[in-house]
A and B are shown apart, each in its own frame.
Chain A
Amino acid sequence: MKILVAVKRVVDYNVKVRVKSDNSGIDTANVKMSMNPFDEIAVEEAVRLKEAGVATEVVAVSCGVAQSQETLRTAMAIGADRGILVETDSELQPLAVAKILKALVDKEQPQLIVLGKQAIDDDSNQTGQMLAALLGLPQATFASKVQIADGKATVTREVDGGLETLALTLPAVVTTDLRLNEPRYVTLPNIMKAKKKPLETIKPDALGVDVAPRLKTIKVEEPPKRSAGVMVADVKALVEKLKNEAKVI
C-alpha cells in the first residue's frame, strides 16, 4: 500500500508574527520557517504504518516556493521514501492545493492520503476535506488513532463531545490532530540519508491545475490589544474585584 502525505512550509510555531506596516500581510522576511506541526504528525503516522508493514511506500508532497524542498527533506528524514514539489511562487489557497493534490493522487494512486488538519498560518482547516470531496473519497478528519486492516481504515476522531470512531473504505483521506502521535526527532544520519532520496519538481501547469486565488485579501491587521490588568495581593482582594469592579460573580 502506498501512502501520500502532504506537507506545508509555514512560519515556525515559536515565531511571534508581525503584521507588515502596509497591512498587506505578515512579515515573513528573515523569519524561521518549518514544517506545519500537524503535517509532521501526518508524516510520522505514515512512516509508522510503513514500519509496521502496513504500507510499502510513503510519498511526501509539498506545494509552494522552491524552499519547500527543505520541508520535503525533513519529511524524508523522518522516513518518507521520496518527495514531490509542485513549485510555484503564486499564493496558494486551500482549493488550489486540493486540486494539485488530486492531480497527484490520480497519478500516484495511493490507498491512503494523510494531511495535517490545518496549517498554523492561515488556520483554514479545509484542504483534506476538499481533496476528499474532489476525489469522491471518504474522510476522517481530526484523527487521534488510525488502524488499517482488511481494506478499511478505522479512525478515531477528536470531536466536540469526546471521541468518535469511523470505518472508511480505502482509498481514504485522513487529517491528523495533535494526539495522533509524537513525531520522532530527526537524527543527523537520517538527514544525510534524506539528501540522497529522490525529489521531483513539477509546475502546477504541468498538472493542468489553475491555482488563481479565489479569496482576495483586502488587509491584514493586528488584533485589538488586550491591555494587562492589575495584580491583586490575595484571594480576598480578587473576590472583591470580581464582585464589585468587574461584577461578573
Chain B
Amino acid sequence: MTSLVIAEHDNQSLKATTLNAVTAALACGGDVHVLVAGHQASAAASAAAQVAGVAKVIHVDAAHLEHQLAENLAEQVLSMVANYSHILAPATAIGKNVLPRVAAKLDVAQVSDITKVISADTFERPIYAGNAVATVQATDATKVITVRTTGFDAAAASGGSGVVETVSAVADSGKASFVGKEVSHSDRPELTAAKIIVSGGRGLGSGEQFHAVMEPLADKLGAALGASRAAVDAGFVPNDYQVGQTGKIVAPQLYVAVGISGAIQHLAGMKDSKVIVAINKDPEAPIFGVADYGLVADLFTAVPELIAELG
C-alpha cells in the first residue's frame, strides 16, 4: 500500500499545505510518495524530499506544467496511478481543481475535504457547511482524497530522507492555456498557515476603513488578514481574503473577528480555531455564540484601544 501526495508549490518553495496532506497520507498507512509537477521546481522537489515520512519524491519538469493546469496535471497523475492505493492532495484551489478529473478517469468516487482518517478506506468529512460530520467508506480500489488541511497537523518539514526520482512529463493537452494572474501581494503570513488571524466584516463600512482599522491590528499581532464574505462582496478586500464555507478554511491559535455578525457560512470556515475573539456592537450577533471572548463595542473605538493596550 503506497500513497501519492500531489504537492502544492509555486515552482520555488513547497507550500505548507503539502505537509498536512502528508500527515493524512501517513495515517492511511504504507509508504508516502510526493509528486512535484512544475517548471524549474527542483527546489520544491528537494524540500519535499526533506519532509519527515516521505519515502520518494517524483519530480516532473515541463513548461506546460508551470501553472499546474488541471488538464495536464491530472494526466500526469493518471500516468503513474497504477502504483498507488491512495492519491491525496490538499483541498486548495489547485487540489480541488485537479483531483476530481483523476477520480473520474479512474472511475472511482472522490472523498472531498477529509478531516480524519479512521482507517485506510474510511474517513470523516464535514457536510452542510460543517453543520454535520459524515463518516464515509470508499468502496473503490483506488482512494482519491482531498485533505482539509486544518484537520491534520503539519508533517515536519525536515528530518526526512526521501529519494528524488525524475519522470518525464505527459504531453500538453493544448485545450487550456494560462493567460495571466493577479496575485495579491502581502508581507503578512498566509491565511491558511497563520497562527493569528484578524478578520473584518461588513461592520468596517468601506475598503478604506477596513485597511485603516484592520491593518494596524494585524501588524501589531503579526497576524494574517481575513474577511467575511459580506466584506468581500462589498468590495472592501479581494476574494482571496474570504474565510468561510466557500473561501478559506482556517484554524489558527487566535482568530479575532471584527464587525463580523457570524453567518453560518463564515462560522464554517473558522470555528475550529483554538481561541476566538469577537468584537461587535450588536450583542445578538451569532458570532458571540462561538466566541471564547466577546466584546460588545463599537469597533472603531475598540480596535485602536486594543492596539494601544497590546503595547
Contact = CB atoms under 8 A, between A and B. Distances in A.
Contacts of B245: 120, 123
B104 to A, nearest CB: 4
Contact of A140 (B136, B176, B254, B276): B176
Interface in B154-179: 173-179
Q: Report, as a range, how many residues of chain B touch the other chain.
A: 35 or more
Nearest to A137: B175
Interface in A145-182: 154, 157-169, 172, 177-179
Given A94-B100, A214-B109, A239-B306, A222 B132 contact: yes
Interface residues of A, number: 79
Interface string B99-110: 111111101111
A235 B109 contact: no
A216 B307 CA distance: 50
Contacts of B67: 164
A124 B293 contact: no
A134 B104 contact: yes
A98 interface: yes
Nearest to B124: A221
A26 B310 contact: no
Interface of A: 11, 13, 16-17, 19, 26, 93-95, 98, 117-118, 120-134, 137-142, 144, 154, 157-169, 172, 177-179, 213-223, 226, 228-232, 234-236, 238-239, 241-242, 246, 248-249
Given A140-B176, A169-B176, A223-B131, 10 more contacts: A93-B109, A129-B99, A129-B100, A133-B105, A161-B183, A165-B181, A166-B178, A166-B179, A216-B137, A248-B274
Interface of B: 67, 69-71, 74, 92-94, 96-105, 107-113, 122, 126-140, 173-184, 192, 196, 221, 229, 232-233, 238-240, 245-246, 248, 253-254, 264-265, 271, 274-277, 288-297, 302, 305-306, 309-310
